[in-house]
Each structure stands twice: as structure tokens, then as C-alpha cells.
Amino acid sequence: MRLTQFSDYSLRVLLYAAEHSERLVTISEMAEFHAISRSHLTKVVVHLSNAGFLRSIRGRRGGLRLAREPAAIRVGEVLRSTEEDLRLVECFGPSASQACRLMPGCQLARALQQALQQFFEPLDALSLADLAAPRAPAEAVVGWSAAGGFAQSAGA
């Protein structure tokens, strides 16, 4: 199983917002920090806002913040909202009985469904607070300054 880039970007946006919960963050700021297209992040932010993970504040001094406390946002919940298709095989789809002649007694389908459930178990137990709290804010790691973008090294 492979998660989409959309899910990856969604988690990055939410983690960034969690690490900066004391202030509003902007799409431009996150796009520059993560070196991701602003238009891609705009789509991600719209989805996350509609799904109830982010709150958007409009206006000149507007920006984004988490809609809930970081501890209340579970990684599994985010991924279920961002992944369009969690079917591991065709028989997990809506027309499963027509797709495979081995149904309904197929042991492989049951095993794959169980594997998918086990994939999500630790992610459902993991919150944004669990991921954001133990490490230093992203600025300290890569030299980002909210006021001026990336800090230039002396040799640059």
C-alpha cells in the first residue's frame, strides 16, 4: 500500500500548523518551508478545512490554524479523509460480488481486510500532538524564520 502525495502534504500541513499553534500560518509560508507548490497546498488546505481539521481566517491578517486541539486529530482519521481509494483489491469495491467468482468464501479477501485494519490501528492511536511535541519546531531544524523566510548561511 502506498499513500498519495495528497495525504503526505496533508500531514505536513497539519503538523506545521500544530507546531505553530500559537499563531496563524499561511499557505505561502508552508509552501516555501516544504518546497511545495502553493497551488497544491491550496487544494490540500481546502480539503482539510472542509473536513474539519483546519480553520481558515480570512482577511489581511488571516491565515490557518487547527480546528481542534492537536491531541484530538488522529493520523488515521486524516488518512481516511485524504485517501480516495483504500481498496487493496478489486473485491473490496461496491460491485465485489460481480468482480470475483471466489466471493463470498475467499480467505484472501478476509486476510487483506484484516491487514488494512491493522495498518490503521497504530495510526488511529497516533495524534498530531504525539508527532509535533517531542521535537523542536521546524524552524530550528532548517533555519526557517516566519518573518524572513529561510535564514541564509554565511557561505551562501
Give the pLDDT band (50/70/90) at residue 153.
very low
pLDDT of residue 112: 85
Q: Which residue has the higher pLDDT, 155 or 20?
A: 20
Q: Is 104 part of a structural domain of the chain? A: no
Range of the domain at 132: 5-86+128-150
Q: What separation in angstroms does the CA of 119 have from each of 2, 3, 79, 144, 152?
A: 12, 12, 11, 34, 41
Q: Is 65 part of a structural domain of the chain? A: yes
Each residue of 20-65: pLDDT tens digit? 999 999 999 999 999 999 999 999 999 999 999 999 999 888 999 9
Q: Is 45 part of a structural domain of the chain? A: yes
CATH of the domain at 71: 1.10.10.10
Return the percentage of the chain with pLDDT > 70, whole number.
75
Number of domains in the chain: 1
Q: Is 140 part of a structural domain of the chain? A: yes
Dist CA 70 CA 26 (whole Å): 18
Q: Is 105 part of a structural domain of the chain? A: no
Query: What pTM, to 2 d.p., does this model score?
Result: 0.76
What is the pLDDT averaged over residues 127-140? Answer: 69
Q: Is 123 part of a structural domain of the chain? A: no
Closest CA relative to residue 109, chosen from 130, 133, 126, 87: 87
Q: Is 146 part of a structural domain of the chain? A: yes
Dist CA 104 CA 96 (whole Å): 9
Q: Is 96 part of a structural domain of the chain? A: no
